[in-house]
């Protein structure tokens, strides 16, 4: 059974932003690529019911498009949002505990640096460390699907590699991952399949091995 299926999904603000897209996510990692403004974050909002939509969204085969956001979260969809949305004055650990407590040791094993700094206010940490907190917080919900919205934005290449290593380990823990990225290298490292979204439409999809030419095309779009 598919983890997530999106069928003929349209999404609207004032105008139509997603123009009828189809996406399937199984146990493998899936990347959503595409330029700024393509509708990637809107797709995530649609999955969570934060924007007006038409079409079907199935989570483990169950239609969820009419559920409230908190009900979708409770089913096990978790997001590490664009811009992280952490509580800057609160400690690392308090930011994590907001989302639950059962996964604390697991996330500290994944990010030993966060364990070392668990009492430190988030605002005193580097961008890379804050991104680790944001990913860790999303994991605290024990997700059945983890969605990451541009986790590499603004980070130095060495930190992007650390984040990529962590996402690979999350997949190895058996948690399906959907990563939205403009960094094609990171996306291809952590995903088995990819969709390219341009102006609200899927213009290309396939296995990552078959999409290597995407890198050149991608920047022309």
Q: How many residues sit in the footprint of ligand ADP (CB under 6 A)?
A: 11
Position among 4, 33, 38, 135 found at the interface with ligand ADP (CB under 6 A): 38
Position among 3, 4, 5, 41 found at the interface with Mg ion (CB under 5 A): 41
What is the closest distance, in whole angstroms, from the C-beta atom of residue 213 to ligand ADP in the complex?
A: 21
Q: Which stretch binds Mg ion (CB under 5 A): 27-35, 38-46, 99-107, 163-171?
A: 38-46
- As a three-state string, the secondary structure of 143-172 is CCEEEEECCCCCCCHHHHHHHHHHHHHHHH
Cβ(148)–Cβ(189) below 8 Å: no
The yes or no reply on residue 83 touching ligand ADP (CB under 6 A) is no
- 165 to each of 40, 114, 159, 176, how far by Cα in Å? 23, 15, 10, 15
Helices (H) and strands (E) in the chain, counts: 9, 10
Report the residue number, 14 or 220, with the smaller CB distance to ligand ADP.
14
At 149, give phi and psi (nearest 5°). -100, 100
Kindly write out the interface string for residues 11-30 of this chain, putting x where it contacts ligand ADP by CB under 6 A and - elsewhere: --xx--x-------------
Give residues in contact with Mg ion (CB under 5 A). Answer: 40-41
């Amino acid at each position: 059974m598919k983890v997530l299926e999106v069928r003929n999904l349209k999404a609207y603000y004032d105008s139509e932003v997603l123009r009828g897209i189809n996406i399937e996510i199984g146990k493998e990692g899936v990347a959503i690529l595409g330029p700024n403004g393509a509708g990637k974050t809107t797709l995530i909002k649609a999955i969570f019911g934060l924007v007006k939509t038409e079409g079907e969204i199935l989570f483990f085969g169950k239609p969820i498009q009419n559920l409230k956001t908190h009900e979708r979260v409770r089913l096990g969809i978790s997001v590490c949002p664009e811009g992280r949305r952490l509580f800057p004055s609160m400690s690392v650990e308090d930011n994590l505990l907001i989302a639950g407590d059962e996964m604390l040791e697991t996330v500290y094993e994944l990010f030993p640096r966060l364990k070392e700094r668990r009492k430190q206010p988030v605002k005193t940490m580097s961008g890379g460390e804050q991104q680790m907190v944001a990913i860790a917080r999303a994991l605290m919900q024990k997700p059945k699907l983890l969605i990451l919205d541009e986790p590499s934005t603004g980070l130095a290449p060495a930190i992007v590699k650390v984040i990529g290593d962590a996402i690979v380990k999350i997949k190895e823990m058996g948690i399906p991952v959907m990563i939205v990225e403009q960094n094609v290298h990171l996306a291809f490292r952590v995903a088995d399949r990819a969709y390219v979204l341009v102006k609200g439409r899927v213009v290309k999809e396939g296995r990552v091995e078959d999409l290597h030419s995407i890198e050149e095309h991608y920047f022309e779009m």
